[in-house]
Chains A and B, each alone.
Chain A
Amino acid sequence: MRYPVGTSLPTLVKGPITKMDLVKYSGASGDFNPIHTIEEFAEQAGLGGIIAHGMLSMAYVGQVVTDFAGIDADLVDFGVRFRAMVRPGDKVICKGTVSKVEEKEDGEYVYLQVIAETENNQVVIKGNATLRY
């Protein structure tokens, strides 16, 4: 078995997220929803200020997975639930664990549980990913 169940993936700490990070992500992703970039708009939308794109946090978690996969494994599945909002100034701490390993005809499948949380232990993303070696 390549990785025993329970193996921890290297933790990745992103941020603190800046407003400029969100402007950059808006441009790179094409998601120009002003709740991510314009303070007044986010206030009026009842969000109490700018919030980060959920997909930015998902990309951070994705990096934990793809870094772990390296160049040997294919990413087959990757899914998350968005649990809480991330705001400028927050650090996003991304972690993962091997939850299952399965030998199949077309390779060894490694199942991962992933999580992202802010510094005050607020879970912002919970998800899972499947790698095939």
Chain B
Amino acid sequence: MINQELIGKWSTPVENWIEKGAVRKFAEAIGDQNPIYVDETYAKNSRYGRIIAPPTFVRTLEYGVIEGLVIPTEGLIHGEQQFHFERPLYVGESLWCSYCLGDTYSRSGSLGKMTFLIFEEKGVTSQGETVFTSRSTVIMTQRSDT
């Protein structure tokens, strides 16, 4: 069971550098050949003026630790994923990322008792500019509860 008192408690933000090599490898891994993710010259001439990261790259960042929150590592199902962008992530910048457990509730379903964990994440520049917010729904099945 997840301690309900942890709802709304944010992790201490962690600094993430958006590295050129990491973005290139990610773009390769998802098979996206858009030059905006890899080609310096192309990206310089785009309206962003620099290389950007693919939208789902956000999910690869580190978000820190919420003290007291223990989540099983097995039997988890990624149910939903939402991203909201104020702008793309720029290669070469650093973002301070943190997350919190926004909500949790249980339902009975085809897999038995399922516990839904709704996580909120955000990435903020050192200047305090929020670049993205996201929400991830993770489902704990009975298998992960035991």
Q: Does B55 contact A81, Cβ atoms closer than 8 Å?
A: no
The 0/1 profile, CB within 8 Å of A marked 1, for residues 24-38 of chain B is 011011111010100
**Known interface pairs A24-B28, A62-B55. Does A29 touch B60 (Cβ–Cβ under 8 Å)?**
yes
How extensive is the interface on chain B, given as a class?
A: 20 to 34
A107 to B80, CA, bound (A): 28
B residues within 8 A CB of A45? 74-75
B residues within 8 A CB of A27? 25, 29
Partner of A28 from B26, B36, B82 at Cβ < 8 Å: B26
B residues within 8 A CB of A65? 55
How extensive is the interface on chain A, given as a class?
A: 20 to 34
A residues within 8 A CB of B25? 27-28
Residue among B22, B31, B84, B135 with the highest chain A CB neighbour number at 10 A: B31
Q: Is the interface of B mostly helix, strand, loop or mixed?
A: mixed
Q: Does B60 contact A60, Cβ atoms closer than 8 Å?
A: no
B residues within 8 A CB of A71? 36, 46-47
Q: Within the complex, what minimum Cβ distance (angstroms) separates A50 from chain B?
A: 15
Partner of B80 from A30, A67, A81 at Cβ < 8 Å: A81
Q: Does B54 contact A66, Cβ atoms closer than 8 Å?
A: yes
Q: Within the complex, what minimum Cβ distance (angstroms) separates A19 from chain B?
A: 13
Nearest 3 A-B pairs (CB), nearest first? A79-B82, A28-B29, A59-B30
B residues adjacent to A (C-beta < 8 A): 22, 25-26, 28-32, 34, 36, 46-47, 54-56, 59-60, 73-75, 77-85, 87-88, 135, 143
A residues adjacent to B (C-beta < 8 A): 14, 21, 24-25, 27-31, 33, 45-46, 54-56, 58-60, 62-63, 65-67, 71, 74-82
